[in-house]
Each structure stands twice: as structure tokens, then as C-alpha cells.
């Protein structure tokens, strides 16, 4: 009788150990799944934060470039107005020379276009 009890306890012990290790594995897998889910959320949050940061940096750069372009446009307009004023002043001071220069340029352009 002692032998039967020992045998059933020994076998029962092995089965409960196998059952316990299967439960342990299931618990570890569940914990691992929870950890992976948390890691996924953390990585997604990091990605969103970096994306927002990149978007803000791009907007700042675009605003800076827009401001520079506007300033360059105003500067170019000022230079054109100044050049136009100088040319108008030169024509008013020397109208004969201006007409002669215009005629010469027109003649040269005519020669160039006639050769084509």
C-alpha cells in the first residue's frame, strides 16, 4: 500500500509540476504580451512626438524662408525703382543721347534678328 501511494504521489507530483510549469509559461507569455503592448504604445508615442517636432521645425523653416523671400522681393522692387529713376533722370538730362542710344540698340537687334 505504501508503494501505491508513493507511486501515485510521485506521478501526481510530476503532473502537478508539469501543470505548474505550463501555468507559469502561460503567465510569462501573458506578461510578455503586456510588455510588448506597452512597448508598442511607448514607441508609437515617441514616433508621434518626433513627428510633431519635425512638423514644427518644418513650419518654422517655411516661415523663415517666406520672410526672407518677402524681404528679397521688397529689396528687388526698391532696386528696380531706383534703376528706373536713374534711367529716367539720365534721359531727361540728355534726351538726344538717349534717342541715339535707343536707335543704335534697335539697329543692332534688327541685324541680329535678320541673320536668323
Q: What is the pLDDT of residue 114?
A: 86
The predicted-structure confidence for 31-53, as pLDDT tens digits, reads as follows: 999 999 999 999 999 999 999 99
The C-alpha cell that represents 12 in the structure block:
501526481
Cα 112 from Cα 52, distance rounded (Å): 58
User: Is pLDDT of 1 > 50?
Assistant: no
The more confidently predicted of residues 6 and 56 is 56
Q: Determine whether 22 is exposed, middle or buried from the number of CB atoms within 10 Å of its CB (0-12, 13-18, 19+).
A: exposed
Residue spans of the domains in the chain: they are: 30-114
The predicted-structure confidence for 62-94, as pLDDT tens digits, reads as follows: 999 999 999 999 999 999 999 999 989 988 999
What b/e sequence results for 24-35 when a residue is b if at least 16 CB atoms lie within 10 Å of its CB, and e otherwise? eeeeeeeeeeee
Q: How many CA atoms lie within 13 A of 49 on its CB side?
A: 6
Amino acid at each position: 500500500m505504501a508503494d501505491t501511494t508513493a507511486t501515485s504521489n510521485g506521478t501526481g507530483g510530476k503532473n502537478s509540476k508539469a501543470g505548474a510549469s505550463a501555468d507559469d509559461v502561460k503567465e510569462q507569455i501573458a506578461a510578455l504580451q503586456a510588455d510588448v503592448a506597452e512597448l508598442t504604445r511607448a514607441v508609437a508615442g515617441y514616433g508621434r512626438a518626433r513627428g510633431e517636432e519635425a512638423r514644427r521645425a518644418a513650419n518654422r523653416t517655411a516661415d523663415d524662408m517666406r520672410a526672407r523671400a518677402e524681404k528679397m522681393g521688397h529689396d528687388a522692387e526698391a532696386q528696380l525703382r531706383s534703376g528706373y529713376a536713374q534711367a529716367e533722370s539720365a534721359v531727361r538730362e540728355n534726351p538726344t543721347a538717349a534717342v541715339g542710344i535707343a536707335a543704335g540698340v534697335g539697329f543692332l537687334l534688327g541685324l541680329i534678328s535678320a541673320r536668323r
